[in-house]
Homo-oligomer: A and B are copies of this chain.
Amino acid sequence: MSQSFTEENYLKQIYKLSKKSDKGVSTNALAERLDTKASSVTDMIKKLAAKKLVNYQKYQGVSLTRKGQKIAVDIIRKHRLWEVFLLEHLGFGWDEVHEVAEELEHIKSSTLVDRLDKFLGHPKYDPHGGPIPDSEGNFPAPARVKLDELEVGKQSNVMGITEHSESFLNYLKKVGLNLGAQFKLTERHDFDRSVEIELNGKNVQLSHDVAKNLFVAY
């Protein structure tokens, strides 16, 4: 019932690619992420399907089963906890951290992870703001911030609003700022505190009145 290093990496990448769209994850996308060939991906997917870790229909892409998802989330938990350790206690820089965490995340000892978690003070987010799931696989409620407080350059997505007037909602719908919409904060103008975001490839201007009423992921 235990997974190999390689199987774990496949599950992790399937998980990450699943978040990007709600269709099945394509063979080619996986091949690119895992730096391997599409044919190798097909072989491995069949193996994972036989183990009931993924749902798979020929030519239709893959998705994780509940079992597969649990394993993937567990790896992400380990990855992020190790990153916190490397950064906060060993003095690593952000650029150096990822590569080492890629190895540490595969150490198989739930005792180790739980004790590391405790040692670190049960952090809820890694230093990138990535949420750290608990040992049950539950993610903490994502941190929210108002758009007028977000740092320029950050990617984010709409999580909620504080103002519920019909005209405001119509405005949001018109510019495409639906719940969950992904964007990047490209600029902030100090003189009127208006912001510019990149949304679906287009640049959109938002007044401070709009920005201060939008909750976005941090």
Contacts and interface: CB of A to CB of B under 8 A. Distances in A.
Interface stretch (A110-118, A182-190, A205-213): A110-118
A96 B108 contact: no
Integer count of this chain's copies in the complex: 2
A117 B147 CA distance: 43
Interface of A: 86, 89-92, 96, 99-100, 103-104, 107-109, 111-112, 115-116, 119
Contacts of A89: 119
A90 B107 contact: no
Contact of A109 (B99, B109, B115): B99
B103 A115 contact: no
Contact of A90 (B90, B92, B116): B116
A141 to B, nearest CB: 28
Contacts of A104: 107
Nearest to A115: B90
Contact of A111 (B96, B107, B115): B96
Contacts of A112: 86, 90, 100
